[in-house]
Chain A
């Protein structure tokens, strides 16, 4: 039995997930503390996105538990999970293309939450100056990088205490990746817990405290980023180079 630690912000213990008959996740466990950035690493199809979707209640788990700030959120409806303060930035951004930047932010807006930073469009435009210059542009007419920022900003409008970021660096220009790293550090400073799914090891190293590696739906390695750097054989075994 694992030793019960001080309560974490986010605790995933022994969850599984199926698409139809196919088992995608098997006994996945890890946790994220407040103010901590954890990288969820793994190759294409390893099960990173599915882990996040299961945490958000979009895919149902028949085993284990997911707790968030001390209470179970497993298999709750997504909107309830979000209202409790867990934000989700999906892969491929999923911007509302017909809606303007301001309207996209409006969809994400939630009431102020005790103990979590309060975000307004003005405050977000300080973090993402580009967005401030295109307030009325439809989401469909923005570049990939701009859409990625909008997707994060939209989720922050819900004033989350923890945030799941699914491959934020995917398919965007290196300068923007740098800006993204800056953003994540800023969120960490605000005290948010961040779970970051990545294939880009370089980027993950820049911003994360710890790493969780999944392969074929199971956790294969957990440790600090420093430990991971000291053991290149782990990286070679589970990650694309």
Chain B
């Protein structure tokens, strides 16, 4: 009995810190509609800054809590700075841009933190006066945990009062529903948004700071917490603070007890609960339905472009160059080209589901990874050959997409994006935690191509063949009736349903198709590297795909190809440097702010018409 109570209290204590982060995320989302990846970075900065302040300030109770407060406020100011310089520019941008931009911020902050605090984990002090434990029903409960259990509801009460008993709170709640109207009533939106960012990031900073006595400050804190915070916000309902509290307690307890029953898959549990909640109540436990509708907006897409003779010739030239490349380039370049080709297929498949399909996927790495792991596991346990492996890869990825896709196509906008992210996190946590089967962090090694394909050049040609085949197939699908129906459905779901097309089924099939081709890319990848690690399924791999699509510009079919090429080259160039993240993040931010139509669109503005092709309408007239 005592043991379960202790477990319950541990759950509540972790729920408190999670609630602080998630409520900040939820408040910011509610008003600005920004899905802020960098919120995890605010949490991390809270912990690091608290560490620094504790070192600086006189020790003792006042020193400790003073440091915690100072750290939270400092993080709040960092949030304000970012809002004014960056986020303000992307409030009207499509979700993809916002997400990728905030991920750029994550990268930049990671390197800044590395530069300031170093790579070592920093162990903070115990909270003075709360170092001991109390016995409850015979079980020792840390005093600090009890303090956290009180802190969570106290902050909930404070936030509730702020929202319901002050003019500021009234304005924020009004802006959550209709920010244009609030503006027409004389309220300066920019200032309101900045203040909302201050409150939200301060809460994240506080969450990180109070975590310091329980958890060392480390560079992994940001992405570790953001996944869970997303889950909490989605379960609770975007924009609802009480919802965030409820969901934090739910997830905290689920983790505390889940670890007793299924220690292997605690991470999966949280995401499963989220998936179930989203299906039953798509807007979360205490959320409002309108967030679903308002989340999904962006500028209308340009029509697809047809090739002109000149651009067709250019592409043929490029293909020719790729075919002769191994004869003129060294082996290192051939390996790099293989990588580029693989990621091109990955990017094209993601572009297919996002552009023509109109479904924003934040977790496409899941299908890349499923393909790679599918093949690797078969090789490891059944000893199948390379050809079978390359067949298994898309099949496994396709089955994964079939299952996750069934849930995903039922949602739209931000919620869809979150569910795809959750799906990817589920696959990641299985690969990461189920050590007996997947090797966990150590990955699976020794997955080499068959004898005949083992030299770099042959494998390159094999890749070239499959990637070209895949791209050609996807292009055909886009211009087939299926592709037209898909794009029509994206632009006006109601009208497409009205002419008797079952849009959900169409989108589901498109989701599976995108998964299958990502799976082929994953299969090719695992044989080219000889190994696979959970990283290939992680958030950052999904974001890589998004950056490729964004780099190339979402409007054109050539976009993802250009995007994958420039991304892989840039990555190859930059990751050799010590502080590559800051450069990479900087490049991302630069593109989002300066060239939001992507490199392809940017080039099109500069290039003459006969090179860039006409839209379908122009061609017809």
Contact = CB atoms under 8 A, between A and B. Distances in A.
B620 interface: no
B185 A106 contact: no
Nearest to A109: B167
Interface in A68-94: 77-79, 82-83, 88, 90, 94
Interface in B268-315: 288, 300
A103 B175 CA distance: 13
Given A96-B174, A98-B173, A99-B170, A108 B180 contact: no
Interface string B376-415: 0000000000000000000000000000000000000000
B181 A94 contact: yes
B462 interface: no
> Which of A77, A78, A94, A99 has the most C-beta atoms of chain B within 10 angstroms of its own C-beta?
A78
B61 interface: no
A78 B183 CA distance: 6
A88 B184 contact: yes
Contacts of A79: 183-189
A136 interface: no
Interface residues of B, number: 20
Nearest to B169: A103
A96 B184 contact: no
A158 interface: yes
A41 B171 CA distance: 33
Contacts of B182: 107
A177 B188 CA distance: 33
A108 B185 contact: yes
Contacts of A107: 170-171, 174, 182, 185, 187
Give the dominant DSSP class at B's interface.
helix
A90 B184 contact: yes
B178 interface: yes
Contacts of B540: none
Contacts of A155: 185
Contacts of B177: 96-98
B170 A58 contact: no
Given A107-B187, A154-B185, A78 B180 contact: yes
A5 to B, nearest CB: 28
Nearest to B182: A107
Interface string A47-70: 000000000101000000000000
Given A58-B180, A78-B180, A158 B174 contact: no
A31 interface: no
A109 B170 CA distance: 11
Given A79-B189, A94-B178, A106-B167, A58 B184 contact: yes
A195 to B, nearest CB: 15
Interface in A92-127: 94, 96-99, 103-104, 106-110
B174 A99 contact: yes
> Which of B174, B177, B186, B187 has the most C-beta atoms of chain A within 10 angstroms of its own C-beta?
B186
Interface of B: 167, 170-171, 173-174, 176-178, 180-189, 288, 300
Given A82-B184, A107-B170, 16 more contacts: A20-B300, A58-B180, A58-B184, A77-B189, A79-B184, A79-B186, A82-B183, A88-B184, A90-B184, A96-B173, A96-B174, A96-B181, A99-B173, A110-B186, A155-B185, A158-B186
10 contacts: A77-B183, A78-B180, A78-B184, A82-B184, A88-B185, A90-B181, A96-B174, A99-B174, A154-B185, A158-B185
